[in-house]
Structure 1
């Protein structure tokens, strides 16, 4: 990474004995779409508001292009902010709302007029310029809030769960629009969400937090395919977890045993020796499902959930217990039904051996 636009160093925020942030270090690259992801209480919003200047750190620092801004008030940081609740002024028109940050900055009227038109066109709200917020849908209000945050050309745009109040389809549509807008403008986005699908589909990089600490960060594909811990594997998507004994190596594979089930696991990123215990994560979509006897394990279907293009099948194995399988419904080759005995298996590179937490 070249010199970051933002650097957070050793950031701590304590509320009595509780650490909302616990010695967090983070660099944000120029033009990056960075997502802070985690469950409620993980520290993601506290970190965002500390960057914005709304939360004072107990310890640590925030730097913008190498300049310490830790003690600067929010209005001097010149960051755009988009909130979950829109925060539009109800007595102002759309045009007045978008122009307000420019008016506060005492920009010329001609510049305000031109910039407001540009920003409303960016978010496809030009035709609504003279409406009041109460005359807009939730998605339209969020577009106006985004236009207002971009109106003064901020160096960084901070977004605090901006889509969480919208229905599923509208949220999915706005995800595409937000990502396209980021690509078009090149502004640095720092986005907070607890929605894994949002994070995976929009981000250049994801930072996963738990209990005020960064658990893992990386590009979406790496985090999903190579989670380091059970928390990351469980929070980002779904996983089956298997407790195994590592009996030895066979070429590039580790020979793993769970009860009377034996299977190989890719050893390329693992150096354990025979006799070690380990925990393995196995994504449901990486499991093959077929007729009984077609794979190296056999189980019984307990439950099937139809999800359109895919179905989720919950299997019972006599040793491994419950195993969740996700398989396509189109030309699946097998029609799973409760009580049916089926074969299931996976390739050696389907599993990831997890670090102890």
Structure 2
């Protein structure tokens, strides 16, 4: 990473005996789309609030480029902020809502008018400039909130679960729009969500938090394909977990045993003595007619999802495993009670370390 635009160092925030932030270190690159992802209580909103200036860490520091801003109030940080609940002024028109940050900064009237028009065009809301917020849909209100946050050209835009109040289809559409807007403007985005699909689809980098600590961070594909712990593998997508013992290792391949079943696993840099569990993504399993793959199984349950089926199969030793397979020309029509076989490639499993 080049010189970061924002740095958090050893940040600690306590509420009684609870560590909302537990010695967090984080660098954010200029122009990056960074997502803070985690379950409720993981510390993601607390970290965003500390960056915004709404709370002050009990320990540690926050720097914007070369300037320490740990104790600076929010208005001196000059960050844009988009909230889950829109936070529009109900007595102001769309135009006046977007103009408000510029008026507070005493910008010239001509500059304000031009910038408001520009920002509303960015979010495709220029035709609604004279409407009141209550006359808009939820998605339209969020677009106005985004235009307002961008109006004064902030160095960093902070987004606190901005799409969580919207319905599924609108949320998916706005994900595309937000990512395209980020690519167009090049502004640094720090985005908080608990939605894994949102994080995977939009982010340059994802930071996964749990109990106030960073568990793992990296590009979406890196985290999804190479989770280090069961928590990360289970939180970012679905995984089957298989407890294994490594009987031998040769040429970077573990020979594993799991309750009588035997299979190979690529070591991926892991130590055989530290591996006792592997993660296996459902889409990496193959479902076939009996005898075509190396493990016999029986279909227990099928869930049809349109382009894919989620199939729960049972194996005598391994128990239940989740298989995700396409519904188009699969060669097999899974149904409850059907005998099948399952298999996977040796690079499909990911060795895990203890949480």
Q: TM-score range by the shorter chain?
A: over 0.9
SS in 1 for 2:142: helix
Question: Within 1, Cα distance between the matches of 2:90 and 2:182?
Answer: 27
**Contact 2:275-2:351 at 8 Å conserved across structures:** no
Question: Within 1, Cα distance between the matches of 2:110 and 2:41?
Answer: 45
Deviation at 1:259, TM superposition (A): 1.1
Structure 1 match to 2:263: 263
Structure 2 match to 1:34: 34
Question: Within 1, Cα distance between the matches of 2:250 and 2:114?
Answer: 68
SS in 2 for 1:95: helix
Structure 2 match to 1:187: 187
Structure 1 match to 2:72: 72
Question: Within 2, Cα distance between the matches of 1:141 and 1:76?
Answer: 26
**Contact 1:98-1:148 at 8 Å conserved across structures:** yes
**Contact 1:84-1:164 at 8 Å conserved across structures:** yes
Structure 2 match to 1:294: 292
Question: Within 2, Cα distance between the matches of 1:331 and 1:192?
Answer: 39
Q: Residues 157-212 of structure 1: CA distance to partner in whole angstroms, max 9, x if unpaired?
A: 00000000000000000000000000000000000000000000000000000000
Structure 1 match to 2:95: 95
Question: Within 2, Cα distance between the matches of 1:118 and 1:353?
Answer: 50
**Contact 2:13-2:57 at 8 Å conserved across structures:** yes
Structure 2 match to 1:344: 342
Structure 1 match to 2:147: 147
Question: Within 2, Cα distance between the matches of 1:301 and 1:209?
Answer: 35
Question: Within 2, Cα distance between the matches of 1:341 and 1:260?
Answer: 19
Deviation at 1:277, TM superposition (A): 5.3
Deviation at 1:272, TM superposition (A): 1.5
CA RMSD of superposed structures (Å): 0.8
Deviation at 1:269, TM superposition (A): 1.6
Structure 2 match to 1:124: 124
Question: Within 2, Cα distance between the matches of 1:161 and 1:184?
Answer: 21
Question: Within 2, Cα distance between the matches of 1:296 and 1:272?
Answer: 23
Question: Within 1, Cα distance between the matches of 2:260 and 2:245?
Answer: 11
Q: Residues 232-282 of structure 1: CA distance to partner in whole angstroms, max 9, x if unpaired?
A: 000000000000010002433110000110000012322325xx6510000
Question: Within 2, Cα distance between the matches of 1:277 and 1:172?
Answer: 38
Question: Within 1, Cα distance between the matches of 2:180 and 2:86?
Answer: 20
Question: Within 2, Cα distance between the matches of 1:128 and 1:189?
Answer: 26
SS in 2 for 1:264: strand
Structure 2 match to 1:48: 48
Unaligned runs of 5+ in 1: none
Could you tell me which of 308, 315, 318 is aligned with 2:316?
318
TM-score (norm 1): 0.98
Question: Within 1, Cα distance between the matches of 2:121 and 2:249?
Answer: 60
Question: Within 1, Cα distance between the matches of 2:275 and 2:184?
Answer: 49
SS in 2 for 1:72: coil
Structure 1 match to 2:199: 199
Structure 2 match to 1:241: 241
Q: Residues 11-43 of structure 1: CA distance to partner in whole angstroms, max 9, x if unpaired?
A: 000011110000000000000000000000000
**Contact 1:243-1:277 at 8 Å conserved across structures:** no
**Contact 2:275-2:352 at 8 Å conserved across structures:** no
**Contact 2:295-2:342 at 8 Å conserved across structures:** yes
Q: Residues 300-319 of structure 1: CA distance to partner in whole angstroms, max 9, x if unpaired?
A: 10000000000000001111
TM-score (norm 2): 0.99
1:19 matches 2:19: yes
SS in 2 for 1:349: coil
Could you tell me which of 281, 284, 301 is aligned with 2:282?
284
Deviation at 1:69, TM superposition (A): 0.4
Question: Within 2, Cα distance between the matches of 1:237 and 1:218?
Answer: 15
